[in-house]
Amino acid sequence: MLFLYYVICYKQTYCGVQVGYCKEYSRLSVHGQICRIYMRLLQRLIGYEALERSTLPTLTLLYYLISNHSTFLTIIQALFMAEDGEVVPLRIGTRGSPLAMAQAFETRRRLIEEFPELEEDGAIEICVMKTQGDMILDKSLMELGGKGLFTKELDTALLGDEVDICVHSMKDVPTWLPDGTVLPCNLPREDTNDAFITANGIKTVKDLPDGSVIGTASLRRQAQLLSQNPTLKCVNFRGNVQTRLRKLEDGVVDATLLAIAGLKRMDMQDCATAVLEWDEMLPAVAQGAIGIQCRSDDERSLKYIDALNCMDTHVCVNCERAFLEALDGNCKTPIAGQAKIIDGKIVFRGLIAMPDGSEKYCTESTGAIEDAVKIGKEAGEELKAQAGDKFFQMMVEMSPQQVLGQITK
């Protein structure tokens, strides 16, 4: 009945009574927005003049709507209008790189497929922002501080109500999320493997000549490359996909590696010389997966993104992230982990290594899908036991310069 009281008060204001009181119902006020929606609905149903002169039909309909929670939520969702009558857009936060934009537009496309009302002009707004990781390209991610470099600004915008949802490459998302946010949605996953791209057409790592220069900013890739051929030289390779491919064409490096998923999303998969299987290059945790984050109390956004969630992808990503969390991995520790659902079971493979590839520890496990998080966590704990405390202590104590010295010696 308290809510009914708010609606009645607003009805009086709407009809010209208590004009000053109306100012309390700003756009930031949930009650104000809901009341406006009710008033517009009533105008359409019984007409403005009837609304002016008749209180009983108004209150009867309001009471029905309030009593039938699902009904009025449907109305709110269908009529989410601002005071000026324009559509309140669903604001998608994203980085501005070509790959990030491709992922944001893919999200938009899927939203419109599921909710045709979002096809209306202005119903979806894409908000582009730069992150620290985008702005500083002359240093490795490890030197900049590791995880969160591509998400902090998006988190801030989300919590500040500047955007409604954020679209992420899941491998960039830390295992912890800011309080007040959730990440309940993963879109169907692309191929998770790494693309191997060379200037001379060589298709496998083992066929690279000794001393070849490989451009990559990933310690995971560097460690696995050096474990196969310690003579290879790995150099920091930052920038978007197009920038990296241009450096390869210019002869700065002999080869590079990129996620084939990103190339496919930009229709650039033909740039790949070969696609490496797990035995040659185990991919990063959550590679190839897109995640969508929103505020935990934002029912409207939750409704939209819940409808897009691919459960198989979500289960595998949760398994991999549990593995990473158990290892408490940082950007100085080369870590790889991948899960697949095969014949109704979840199959997981994980790896940790020294940055120079001199030590490598692997694990593989299979289990029930419902135990995905447990499987990932136990795999991480197993590798911690295999490697021993000394391994992880070295990773913590090493400065970025020492790590880089190991892999470029």
Q: Give the 3-state DSSP-derived string for the chain, with helices as H, strands as E and coil as C.
A: CHHHHHHHHHHHHHCCCCCHHHHHCCCCCHHHHHHHHHHHHHHHHHCHHHHHHCCHHHHHHHHHHHHCHHHHHHHHHHCCECCCCCECCEEEEECCCHHHHHHHHHHHHHHHHHCHHHHCCCCEEEEECCCHHHHCCCCCHHHHCCCCCCCHHHHHHHHCCCCCEEEEEHHHCCCCCCCCEEEEEECCCCCCCEEEEECCCCCCHHHCCCCCEEECCCHHHHHHHHHHCCCCEEECCCCCHHHHHHHHHCCCCCEEEEEHHHHHHCCCHHHCCEEECCCCCCCCCCCCCEEEEEECCCHHHHHHHHCCCCHHHHHHHHHHHHHHHHHCCCCCCCEEEEEEEECCEEEEEEEEECCCCCCEEEEEEEEEHHHHHHHHHHHHHHHHHHHHHHHHHHHHHCCHHHHHHHHHC
Give the homologous superfamily in CATH for domain 311-409: Porphobilinogen deaminase, C-terminal domain (3.30.160.40)
Second CATH level (architecture) for the domain 194-282: 3-Layer(aba) Sandwich (3.40)
Q: Does domain 89-187+289-309 fall into CATH 3.40.190.10?
A: yes
Closest CA to 171 of 273, 320, 41, 271: 320
Where in the sequence of the chain do the CATH 3.40.190.10 domains occur?
Answer: 89-187+289-309, 194-282
Per-residue pLDDT tens digits for 302-354: 999 999 999 999 999 999 999 999 997 655 789 999 999 999 999 999 999 99
Could you give the CA distance from residue 101 to residue 325 in angstroms, rounded to a whole number? 28
Q: How many CB atoms lie within 10 A of CB 401?
A: 10
Closest CA to 334 of 303, 359, 369: 359
198-216 as b/e, with b when 16 or more CB fall inside 10 Å? beeebeebeebeeebbbbb
Q: How many CB atoms lie within 10 A of CB 223?
A: 26
Residue with tokens 């520790």: 333
pLDDT at 280: 95
Residues in the chain, total = 409
Q: For residues 311 and 324, is the Cβ–Cβ distance under 8 A?
A: no
172, 194, 298, 356: which is the annotated catalytic residue? 172
User: Could you confirm whether 172 is annotated as catalytic?
Assistant: yes
pLDDT at 83: 46
Compute and round to an integer the Cα radius of gyration of the chain: 26
For residue 174, give both structure tokens.
Answer: 């830390």
Could you give the CA distance from residue 141 to residue 208 in angstroms, rounded to a whole number? 26
Per-residue pLDDT tens digits for 89-148: 999 999 998 899 999 999 999 999 999 999 999 999 999 998 765 555 555 555 545 567
For residue 170, give both structure tokens.
Answer: 């899941």
Q: How many CB atoms lie within 10 A of CB 182?
A: 16
pLDDT < 70: residue spans in the chain: 1-86, 132-147, 149, 329-331, 398-409
For residue 158, give both structure tokens.
Answer: 């989300």
Q: For residues 119 and 85, is the Cβ–Cβ distance under 8 A?
A: no
Q: Does the pTM of the predicted model rise above 0.85? A: no
* CA 258 vs CA 59, 116, 191, 318, 375: distances in Å: 61, 35, 12, 23, 28
Where in the sequence of the chain do the CATH 3.30.160.40 domains occur?
Answer: 311-409
Could you give the CA distance from residue 333 to residue 355 in angstroms, rounded to a whole number? 7
